[in-house]
């Protein structure tokens, strides 16, 4: 009987942890993260659930003779924004996945 109570207690703890994790995921999804290219020539805004929600390009970054530079600026801003989301996710949710090999 003692073993059954331990299993029941573990299940309660697991459900409580899952509920808390889901709440933190929802809170994270509501946040916005702004990735920036050098000199803020391009900014990419992401939601906490990795969705690109806005992209702004400074008109000075648009040079028809140097499209490669604009592409590099967009990539830099997107990478920066995604990195911010990833870091925030790890900070907020990493405690739940530690030791799980995820």
Q: Give the pLDDT of residue 1.
A: 47
CA atoms of 78 and 60, how far apart (whole Å): 18
pLDDT above 90 (res 13): no
Chain segment 16-30, per-residue pLDDT in tens = 888 888 888 888 889
Contacts of 20 (CB under 8 A, 6+ apart): none
pLDDT above 50 (res 45): yes
pLDDT above 80 (res 70): yes
Q: Which of 15, 18, 24 is nearest to 89 (CA)?
A: 24
CA 16 to chain centroid, in Å, comes to 23
Task: Grade residue 71 by pLDDT with cuts at 50, 70 and 90.
Answer: very high
First-last CA distance in the chain: 34
């Amino acid at each position: 009987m003692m073993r059954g109570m331990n299993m029941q207690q573990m299940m309660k703890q697991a459900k409580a942890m899952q509920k808390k994790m889901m709440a933190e995921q929802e809170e994270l999804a509501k946040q916005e993260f702004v990735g920036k290219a050098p000199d803020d020539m391009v900014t990419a805004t992401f939601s906490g659930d990795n969705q690109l929600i806005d992209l702004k390009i400074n008109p000075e970054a648009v040079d028809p003779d140097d499209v490669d530079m604009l592409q590099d600026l967009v990539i830099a801003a997107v990478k920066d924004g995604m990195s911010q989301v990833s870091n925030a996710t790890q900070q907020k949710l990493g405690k739940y996945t530690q030791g799980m090999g995820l």
